[in-house]
Amino acid sequence: MAAVTADRKLFLGARLKRLRRELGLTQTRMAEDLGVSPSYLNLLERNQRPVTAQVLLRLAEAYDLDLKSLSGDPEAGAATDLAEILSDQMFRDLAVPRHEIAEVADSAPGFSEAVVRLYRAYLDQRRLSELGAVGRPEEGTYQAPVVTPSDWVRDFIQAQKNHFAELEEAADALSSELKAEPQDFQAAARERLARRHGIQVRVVPVDVLPESVRRFDHHRRRLFLSEVLTGAGRSFSLAYQLALLEHGELLDGLAERGAPPDRPTRNLLKVSLGNYLAAGVLMPYGAFYEAAERTAYDIELLRARFGVSFEQACHRLTTLARTGARGVPFFMVRVDSAGNISKRFAGSTFPFSRFGGACPRWNIHSSFRTPGRIVTQVIETPDGQRYFTLARTVARVATPYAGDDSELAVGMGCELKHAERLVYSRGLDLKEPVATPIGPACRLCERPACPQRAAEPISRTLMVDDFSKSISPYPFAST
């Protein structure tokens, strides 16, 4: 936490008021908990007094808070999304300053999320219209755009900072009951499935399950796993089945509590929560966090120690947000060779476009040229923030010779200030690193002279003439 000094005062009124409302407390009750008067708390919430270090410490002690959640950058998260939206050409003439965007995001997070959803619906409508998939209202063929289940679930998980304390407790309990070392997990899980649930597990040829890797036959009490699953994949499938059988009510309750808009979204949310629980069973929080700290977050050592895949270990690292045992706040994305993002998780600020793809200057794309090798990079976003990143290709299943290539790339990263905790940064000059400038999607990025630019930014005028050729294929005016 940054020090609270006379020349750096913290005004956290909106976040303090939001915290009080989330806890269901009156000003009088919170004032009692903090040892201040209700009138003083009222002044704090109205930003007429700065929050002192003593008050911050009392907040942390009274409500078991991570102070970073209160004293973090107010322009992170929702403000970043709003800034990206307001860079659209339709809002260009408004020239909304960053401090106004930060103020709205900080004081009205629900409203900010509503704007994000509305903008996404607008983008979906525009794309469908361009493809001829929807008509105009006057034609009688108009279909209102909706948020896709995957987008909704992704946003819900991110709103929880990708950490679910109830699932962690359930995973710890189940893992303790299994009492299995990673190399013995499959045998222990099979035995528990058979003894407690009457379920037999069979590994079957690929032609038996040509279009899936796991299938549970409820009537015959059989769990079929495809032979193309790796050892880590089979362990995860067993853990997932146990999670559904033994904590189905918990998963159903959490899914209902999230209030998804329809049944497909609810089903996807339950599967995602089940996956989270399965990961917790394979990588119990305490043991995994301790191993991560001791190995300086060496992902290869972690995956070997817990019998999981590289991608599974990366995903688990983004969930280490338990109070008193917080890991490095990583973000993670998974992309295919065409740049399509299929996973996006973050334990803190995510520096990439929410509505576009990853910048081509980030070396997650070049990792396809060095399969299985970890590549690192320091990147710098347009706002001057720097991040330490690493990327590596992964294969989800064993691919038959004549089958489609299943290779993907996983990218991980954290703010540069955390990089010294990582084994991958050893030997690098973190005080004066060589940083690669990156940006959001090309149509939103205003970095000049980028040789990999695929389109001009919508907020600038394209400047092409007959007399010169720029480094960028789409040069644009600076203002």
Of the candidates 365, 369, 368, the one whose C-alpha atom is nearest the C-alpha of residue 377 is: 365
Q: What is the pTM of this model?
A: 0.73
For 140, the domain range is 78-146
Of the candidates 294, 291, 296, 285, the one whose C-alpha atom is nearest the C-alpha of residue 324 is: 285
User: Which helix (H) or strand (E) segment is 322 a member of?
Assistant: strand 321-322
CATH of residue 66's domain is 1.10.260.40
Domain assignment present for 477:
yes
Cα separation, 380 vs 387, whole angstroms: 6
Do 99 and 180 fall within a single domain? Answer: no
Do 169 and 270 fall within a single domain? Answer: yes
CB 420 within 8 A of CB 375: no
Cα separation, 353 vs 114, whole angstroms: 18
Domain assignment present for 385:
yes
Do 383 and 351 fall within a single domain? Answer: yes
Tens of pLDDT, residue by residue, the chain (479 residues)? 444 444 456 777 777 887 887 787 888 988 998 999 988 988 888 888 888 888 888 888 888 776 665 654 444 566 777 777 776 667 767 777 777 777 777 767 778 777 877 877 777 666 655 545 444 545 554 454 456 788 888 888 888 888 999 999 999 999 999 988 989 999 999 999 999 999 999 999 988 988 889 999 989 999 999 999 999 999 999 999 999 999 999 999 999 999 898 899 999 999 999 999 999 999 999 999 999 999 999 999 999 999 999 999 999 999 999 888 999 999 998 988 877 778 888 766 666 665 555 677 888 888 888 888 999 999 988 778 899 999 999 987 766 654 556 789 999 999 999 999 999 999 999 998 988 888 777 766 777 777 777 777 766 777 777 777 777 777 777 76
Angle at alpha carbon of residue 432, lines to 427 and 436, rounded to 5°? 95
Cα separation, 466 vs 183, whole angstroms: 66
- Number of compact structural domains in the chain: 5
At which of 282, 314, 339 does a domain end?
282
Do 433 and 457 fall within a single domain? Answer: no
Sort 263 into a burial class: Cβ within 10 Å, 0-12 / 13-18 / 19+: exposed
Domain assignment present for 293:
no
What is the DSSP annotation of 347-363?
Answer: SS---S-SSS---TTST
Cα separation, 447 vs 444, whole angstroms: 9
Do 276 and 169 fall within a single domain? Answer: yes
CATH of residue 232's domain is 1.10.10
Domain assignment present for 2:
no
